[in-house]
């Protein structure tokens, strides 16, 4: 998220994280440009009025260089000609201020689904199913109540069912740059998942590596 207003940026980041999204923040075009070449993102939210120039010019530069990440422009400049200009510079969506957080979350999720690796509508391992669009998880047909973070970790494991997924990979996919990689946050979420999923345990611990989800032996 590229937003130079610290108060607004913090509030939006908290709201997006509460919806289960990992958020990195940048306060300028230069900082945002550095982050996108270091990290891989599913979506960028960009303000226009940045301290080092118009956010639209940054989008134009990205598109010219071949960087195709979906971009949502979030700005007080909401006139028709402003929106047209935004799309002309390569924006994928345009949301004027003021706006509802729920709408922003929905638009970000929609843009994220356009990402280079399309998500499957439903994932399954043994009797466990995960419905991506509806954010529902069932074990033997019984609906389970998972937190947004538990859902994200389970989805990451099920997308690579049968493969080892390292703690670092889970942190990078399900958390953001504010997380402490040395913490046991992944292990805590896995422990909660195992309790909610119930027996037989489908998540295998790989000592010194991470985790793997399999069907029961």
The parent domain of residue 157 ranges over: 122-213
Q: Which of 97, 86, 111, 117 is nearest to 21 (CA)?
A: 111
Q: Is residue 70 a part of any domain in this protein?
A: yes
Choose one of 112, 141, 171: the last residue of a domain: 112
Has residue 197 got a pLDDT over 90? yes
pTM for this structure?
Answer: 0.57
Give me the number of domains the chain comprises.
Answer: 2
Q: Are residues 12 and 93 in the same domain?
A: yes
Q: Are residues 58 and 149 in the same domain?
A: no
Contact 95, 74 (CB under 8 A): yes
* Size (the chain), residues: 217
* Angstrom distance (rounded) from CA 24 to CA 205: 29
Q: Please report the pLDDT score of residue 174 as a whole number.
A: 84
Has residue 154 got a pLDDT over 90? yes
Q: Are residues 93 and 38 in the same domain?
A: yes
Q: Are residues 87 and 137 in the same domain?
A: no
Q: What percent of the chain has pLDDT over 70?
A: 92
Q: Is residue 63 a part of any domain in this protein?
A: yes
Euclidean distance between the first and the last CA atom of the chain, given in angstroms as a whole number: 44
Sequence-distant (6+) residues with CB within 8 A of 67 are: 36
Q: Is residue 207 a part of any domain in this protein?
A: yes
């Amino acid at each position: 998220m590229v937003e130079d207003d610290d108060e607004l940026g913090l509030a939006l980041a908290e709201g997006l994280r509460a919806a289960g999204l990992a958020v990195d923040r940048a306060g300028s075009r230069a900082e945002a440009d550095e982050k996108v070449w270091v990290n891989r993102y599913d979506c960028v939210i960009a303000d226009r009025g940045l301290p080092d120039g118009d956010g639209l010019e940054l989008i134009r530069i990205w598109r010219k260089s071949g960087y195709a990440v979906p971009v949502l422009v979030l700005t007080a400049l909401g006139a028709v000609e402003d929106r047209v200009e935004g799309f002309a510079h390569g924006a994928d969506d345009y949301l004027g201020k003021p706006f509802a957080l729920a709408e922003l979350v929905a638009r970000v999720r929609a843009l994220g689904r356009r990402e280079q690796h399309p998500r499957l509508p439903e994932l399954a391992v043994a009797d466990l199913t995960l419905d991506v669009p509806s954010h529902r998880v069932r074990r033997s047909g019984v609906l389970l109540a998972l937190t947004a973070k538990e859902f994200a970790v389970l989805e990451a494991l099920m997308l690579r069912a049968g493969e080892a997924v390292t703690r670092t990979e889970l942190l990078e996919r399900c958390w953001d740059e504010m997380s402490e990689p040395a913490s046991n946050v992944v292990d805590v979420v896995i422990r909660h998942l195992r309790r909610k999923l119930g027996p037989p345990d489908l998540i295998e611990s790989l000592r010194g590596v991470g985790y793997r989800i399999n069907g029961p032996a």
